[in-house]
Structure 1
Amino acid sequence: MDKRAWHPAENPTACHVAIIMDGNGRWAAERGLPRTEGHRQGVEAVRRTVEAARELGITHLTLFSFSSENWSRPRQEINDLFGLLRRFIRRDLADLHNNNIRIRVIGTRAGIERDLLRLIDDAVELTKNNTGLNLTIAFNYGARDEIARAARKLAEDVQSGAVAATDVTPEGFAAYLDTADLPDPDLLIRTSGEQRLSNFLLWQLAYSEFVFVDVYWPDFSREVFEAAIAEYQRRSRRFGGTSVRSTA
């Protein structure tokens, strides 16, 4: 695929890719390795994918890194995951910033250690004025929780009189979500062969195209990424109406 084959100037309706990064544990188990090694290799796949997205001209990339349901995992595995995130920020932040990438984090802050929150806040603050790829990390995130929090905020505004109940619309409700200033994803990719959303961006994915790939996340390569994009570009998006081609 040409490096500019999906550039927004040429294809403005195909700019946001969301990815459920699945299969680290199974990748490690099949090789007789600890799950931590699967997660470590998963971080390498993140680096490859961010670079590929930037080179392909994708404007928004959203990665599902830690679900609010993942707290049920063994504590040591959670500590390992958080340690990898710390190292990723410390090691890669300067390069991300130098490449004009803007970092955002969606989800809740509950239960996250203060030093990790500071690292996240520093990364968001440092890159907030960057104008290249928008990299959104869904961290300690669950879509049902996000929708419930948004509904609670909207209800409070209706109760206070700031919003009239008769003025509540889907567009207005979306403004209360964590992704309020982001476009909805055009394409969702899930790795590992699983075909479910796992409580990820339930509102935002209403009209997205889904591509499920059989490779585990640590093996996710630029070639697999480009193949998923090519599949997306063959689709006809209807948005409930007549056909709209995915390609420019």
Structure 2
Amino acid sequence: MNYQTIQVRFQESICYLRFYRPEANNTINNTLIEECMYVLALCEESVTIVVLEGLPEVFCLGADFQGMYEKMANEHEHVQNPEPLYDLWLKLATGPYITISHVRGKANAGGIGFIAASDIVIADQTAQFSLSELLFGLLPACVLPFLVRRVGFQKANYLTLMTQPIRVEQALTWGLVDAYDAQSDTVLRKHLLRLRRLSKTGILRYKRFMDKLSDLRQYKSLALASNQEVFSDAQNLKGIFRYVETGQFPWMD
């Protein structure tokens, strides 16, 4: 398939899925969500490990504000439905494969959603993690159920309120990252050598069991409603679009 927003390769039972929107800082749009879901559907039968990667300087920077701006400028509906993205993260968290986020460079907002939904997170020394939503009057509503499950309520709360990036060392201490090294490719290979020994059936049963211990579906309706509320706020949208046009954050005069 000729993908527009991702690059995909299969190596035996491993799928490597790379976010590839260099012109847009690997931000998330509808096409990226659809293409990722398509690939994960291909992985259902025989793939045992899915590795998510970004660019060397940026893993994923969250919502595509530029795309939202262009839709509004063309008088198209500008409020996106958050459900497909939440379902994509659910699939990463609960699907019959081990999911690994290999993070280099910046991960922000929705990029943290991919990381928090993954079973294992590996990073290099350049990785940094942030939730910038409150700077724009928004909420990381769909991210938080996954993030709270991974790092706990208070650390997710602090990351949300402070809005500033944390370095990989702190992310490791918090449990957002499982392993990091300057040579993260080597760390990834070591993990894959071990994980590829696991059977598809064993992984499936384990993921089903873990899904029942922490049911992310119970938070879905609340997360979607909160997301739609903040992205429907005219003042928030005004601040987002001024940022796209001028680079000024909403609090700047």
Coarse TM-score class (shorter-chain normalised): 0.3 to 0.5
Higher helix share: 2
- Per the normalisation by structure 2, the TM-score is 0.32
